[in-house]
Each structure stands twice: as structure tokens, then as C-alpha cells.
Structure 1
Amino acid sequence: MFEGHPVNRAAAERRAGTLTARRSVKKANQAAWLVNAIRCIDLTTLAGDDTEGRVHRLCAKARQPLAAHIVEGLGIAEMELHTGAVCVYPTMVPHAVAALEGTSIPVASVATGFPAGLTPLAIRLAEIRYAVEAGADEIDIVITREHVLRRDWTALHDEVRQMREACGHAHLKAILATGELETLRNVYCASMVAMQAGADFIKTSTGKEGVNATLPVSLVMVRAIRDYEMVTGHRVGFKPAGGMKTAKDALAWQILMKEELGNDWLRPDLFRLGASSMLADIERQLEHHVTGRYAASHRHAIA
């Protein structure tokens, strides 16, 4: 399904460049797309100085991502808008679960030696089980990049399969760390193997690499998702992460999903945006839509 599949980098970059150049989303339509982006954000904190208090503030923002006057101005109070998930380190999962009690917002946890993924496999599997037992609904795992660089697809498949089994009921998002895979062909192959091994989502990056989510890489991954569905009938979700900070980025990746995979991939069950600061810019743009003025950043609650 994948070893003989060529990927033309120049063509991928050209196609990615046309996605936003040929599309202009303005006014009420832009506001609607930005509200949808909020529904798909995995609101994330993955810092070495994370605390219970920071996680609680993040969860409060996830529960109420927009200021009340913006919600009223947009007329979306009945939506009960919230983010797609909250993503934290395993030790922070109990704090997030407690803060989100009574909501439908899932808690996602990174695991498997994030971000490098170079701890022994047994420890990585134990970390998955720890996060799931603590209450995580979704696990963002990192693959061993060496398997891809050596094109050892059997080793990669077996590793992800064991991680899938360790997740139990929790969804598995496989982080490919595409900035470290060298070629777009490797990105396509790694995407295919991760899906064959049972990944519920494939994800571009940890956010810690030198190069994170880009539109050409994302294009290759979503076309792998499309090819996989055509062959198997099974749908896999997609999550770009890292380096996305603006409302403009949220629009660009949604346009990619709509044009390449269709409207079904504009829902949080099949599409997530791994971000934190992006939400602040989306809120700022939506306030401008409602009031006609740009607010200072300190006017919006932050996590």
C-alpha cells in the first residue's frame, strides 16, 4: 500500500500554496469557521513548570473559550461551545479530570517518553497505562523515528500496535514528528503504518521539533488518510500541532481538510488542532467581528 508510493515534494508544496491563495473567507463566514476551529482545538500545556493551578486555569478556558459578550454578540449561547480536548502531561491528568468533571470535554495525555520517545518500550507502555488509569480519554504517543529512517516498517507497526493495546478504551493519536523524518515519502509511509497498526488519529508533531506542522506535510498525511479509507473503509482522524498560533492558521488547516477530505473532517471526532496561543488570536478576531474593534490581549482571560 505504501512502499512504492512516490511523493512529489514540488507538487505537494505547490498544491499547499494554492489552498489559501485561492480561497478568501470573510465576515460572518470567517467567524463561523473560527468558531468551528475552537470546537476542534486540543488546548494544550506541556511545560516543565506545569502546576495544578495552571491546569485548572486551562480547563476553565476550555469550558468557556470565549468571553460572554462575544458569545452573546455571535448569538451562539445555545451551542455551549467548548474546545475539543485538554492535553497535558500524565502527572497532570488527575488535575484535568477533576477540573472537567461534569463536562463532555475529553482529557488527552502525551505519553511514551514525549517528546523524544527514546525510553525503553516497556516504560513507554507503562506510561500509557498510567495515564489511562488516571482518567485520560486520549493518548498522544510518539513513534520511534529510527524505525522510519531505517524504513523498518515491521518494527514501527509492532511498536504502535502494542501502544494501541495499552491504550485500551482510550483513543490513540500517533505523533510522527514529521520534521525529523527527512522526506515526504517517509511521512506518507509512516502515516500508513500507524493507521494499519490501529491509530485513531495521526498527528504531525510534538511541537518540540525544529520544524512542526506545515501545510505540505499535512497534505501528504491527509492524502494517506484518504487512500487508507478508500482501501479499508475505515476513517482515521488528523491533528496538526506545533507552530500554529493565529486565526489565519486555523482557517488554512480547515480549508485543507474541507478540500481534501470533505466536511466530515471538520468535526472534532476526526480533526483536532494542537494549540494553545491560537485560541487567544481567534478570540481577538471574533471580538473584532462583534464590536468592530481589536481588543488588547489583556482583556481576554488566558490559561
Structure 2
Amino acid sequence: MATIVPTLFSFFQDYKQRFVQSEFDKEVSRDFDTQDIAEHTTAFENEAKQMAKQPSEVRKLIGYIDLTTLAGDDTKDRVEALVDRAINPVPQEPNIHCAAVCVYPQRVADVKRHLSASGKKFNIASVAAGFPSGQYHLQSKILEVELTVADGATEIDIVISRAAALEDDWKTVYNEVLALKKACGSAHLKTILATGELKTLINVYKASWASILAGSDFIKTSTGKENVNATLEVAYVMCTAIKRWHQLTGKKVGFKPAGGIKTVEEGLSYVALIKNVLGQDWLTPSLFRIGASSLLDNCLKAL
């Protein structure tokens, strides 16, 4: 044992966030048993049904929500109302609040001004870098991220190039995320995989691994604009990558499902998944978020 422990410690210290094709190929050379995943996800859904009966779990669920509006007709007044609601969703319980608001880049300055006027601090998330398609020049993606951070965003949700992913060009996926992470500066980077367009579970794992290697603070399922958005199946695969990274490096990466999560039971299914796959330490807004627009309404109805 005395010779094994230093070797493992040395490995963890040397394992850097870099892309080496041979190392990448070795890591992602794995299969996923869909029947086994289905059994796990069914268990998470059943656990969520029991959790939904507990008001304390519903209150915690509110605290994971990135309250989101991503509509073409978003206005200053709409995002200001969103901020007020996110900060104080349950008027009789002022200690309850959402984790962040998420808006388009053009509305970030409105959110920032509104918060400044109110004297309150709150997480401002924004989608950027060619959201939702990702089909933009890298330089324009970088500029959009830089401008959005300058306007006051503390969290940036980018989307990977699905074209590169579907062409099995994971080095390009990695390089783009790496460049956008640098453009974020002190803001946190949440990298959207758009899992509904990646075709296979192994592609979901590869996208997760490339994004984590590039320094993503979170990996996120979907833009909410795809035909298929967050599912427990892809979430399980993504959390498998997060767990693997933590085992190798000791570093924790966050997880955010988004798109189509509306009911309390759906939201709590992801809570059950996180608890069982990653552990209780991940059940904090610093490591777990849910991107949603209507989930909050249903949480309030449940309470």
C-alpha cells in the first residue's frame, strides 16, 4: 500500500485539463447499458414521487432553479419582473429564492441596473456564444461572451458546436469551449451539450468529457430549443462523466438539466439522480441547477 498511494497521488496531481487525442479516446471507449440506465432512472422517478410529498424538498427545489426567459419579445419590464420573482418567489418566506435568472445578452444590462437600484445581489446568467444553434464564427462567440460579462453577467451558458461533435471532431469542441472559458474571465461557464442532437449516449459522454477537460464549471443538457431536451437518461451519462472527473482529479463540476422540466416530480427526479450518482455534496446551487420557466409555478402550487 505504501507504494500505491504516492503513485495515485502523483497521477491526480499530473492529470491536467488538456486534450490529448489518445488519452481522450481511451477515456471515452466505453459502452452504456440502456437497460441498466432505465432501471436507475425508474428508481429516481419513484423516489421523486415520495419526495414531492415533503414541502421541505419542494422548497429546496426552488433554490436550484435558474428562472429563465428566452423569448424574442423579452423586454426590460419582463426581465425586471423575473428578477423580483426569482429573489422573492414566496412572499411569506423571504429566505426562499431561486439560484439565478437567465436571460438573453441584450437584457443583462437591464437586470444589472435593476439589481443595483434595489441594492440586492443575485446571480445573473445569460446564454451567449451563438445560442442556440452554435453555428457562428468562434471570434463572434468570444466577443459576445466578453460583452455579456462586461454588461454584468456572472454566469455564461454557452452551447457546443454540434457540427464538430457529429463529425467526431472533439478537439474542436474542446478548443472552442477552452477559448470561451477564457473569455468568461471571472464568470462561471455552463456548457450546453444540446444532447437531443448528439444522436448517441456515447456522444453525450464524449461531449461531457471534452467540455469538462476545457474547464467548464457546469455541463448542461439542453438549450430548451431542441426537439428533445433534458432526459434522465442523458443526465445519468453526463453525471457519470462528472463522477469520473472527480475520481481522477478531486475537482467538482456542476450539472444543469434544462428544457421541458415543468412538474415538481420531474424536478425532484433530477435531485434523486444527483443524490444517488454524485452524492449529497452536489445538492447545492453552486453545483446543481435546473433551467426552467414554469417549474417555479408548479412548486408554488405544491406548497
Q: Report the TM-score range of the alignment, normalised by the length of the smaller protein.
A: 0.7 to 0.9
* Contact 1:5–1:185 (8 Å) recurs in 2: yes
Q: TM-score, normalised by structure 2?
A: 0.88
Unaligned ranges ≥5, structure 1: 72-76, 287-303
- How many residues align? The count is 276
**Structure 2 contact 254–287 (Cα < 8 Å) conserved:** yes
Instruction: Show the counterpart of 2:204.
Output: 187
Shift of 1:39: 0.9
Q: How many angstroms does 1:265 deviate by?
A: 1.2
Q: Distance in 2 between matches of 1:151 and 1:52?
A: 41
Contact 1:174/1:199 (8 A) holds in 2: yes
Supply the distance in 1 between the matched residues of 2:131 and 2:220 (Cα, whole angstroms): 13
Instruction: Show structure 2 runs of 5+ residues with no match.
Output: 1-25
Are 1:82 and 1:105, in contact at CA under 8 Å, matched by a contact in 2?
no
Corresponding position of 1:146: 163
Which residue in 1 is equivalent to 2:230? 213
Task: Please tell me the residue identity of whatever aligns with 2:30.
Answer: H
1:3, CA displacement in angstroms?
2.6
CA RMSD of aligned residues (A): 1.4
> Residue 83 of structure 2: which of 59, 78, 101 is its match?
59
Corresponding residue for residue 202 of structure 1: 219
How many Å apart are 1:104 and its aligned residue? 3.2
Alpha-carbon offset, residue 233 of structure 1: 1.0
Question: Separation in 2 of the partners of 1:194 and 1:158?
Answer: 9
**In structure 2, distance between residues paired with 1:183 and 1:6:** 11
Hey, what does 2:187 align to over in structure 1?
Answer: 170
| 1:11-31 deviations in Å (ceiling 9; x for gaps) | 22222122122565258x721
1:47 aligns with 2:71: yes
Quote the sequence identity (%): 46
- Equivalent in 241, 261, 281 of residue 278 of structure 2: 261
- State whether residues 19 and 256 of structure 1, in contact with CA within 8 Å, keep that contact through their aligned partners in structure 2: yes
1:13 aligns with 2:38: yes
Residue 160 of structure 1: aligned partner: 177
Q: Which runs of 4+ in 1 moved over 4 A?
A: none
Aligned to 2:240: 223
Q: 1:134 to 1:23 in 2, by over 3 A?
A: closer
Instruction: Return the offset for 1:264.
Output: 1.3
2:57 to 6, 16, 33: 33
Q: CA deviation at 1:175?
A: 0.2
Deviates more, 1:97-106 or 1:36-45: 97-106
Distance in 2 between residues matched to 1:123 and 1:16, nearest whole Å: 39
Cα displacement (A) at 1:10 = 2.7
Alignment of 1:110-121 (within 5 A): 110-121=127-138
Contact 2:99 2:289 in 1 (8 A): yes
Query: CA deviation digits over 1:54-112, x for unaligned, max 9?
Result: 001100101111132xx3xxxxx5xx221100000000001111222333321001001
Supply the distance in 2 between the matched residues of 1:2 and 1:142 (Cα, whole angstroms): 22
Q: Which residue of 2 aligns with 1:87?
A: 102
SS in 1 for 2:273: helix
What corresponds to 1:128 in structure 2? 145
* CA distance in 1: counterparts of 2:70 and 2:34, whole angstroms: 31
1:272 corresponds, among 268, 283, 289, to 289
Q: Cα distance, 1:9 vs. partner? A: 2.4
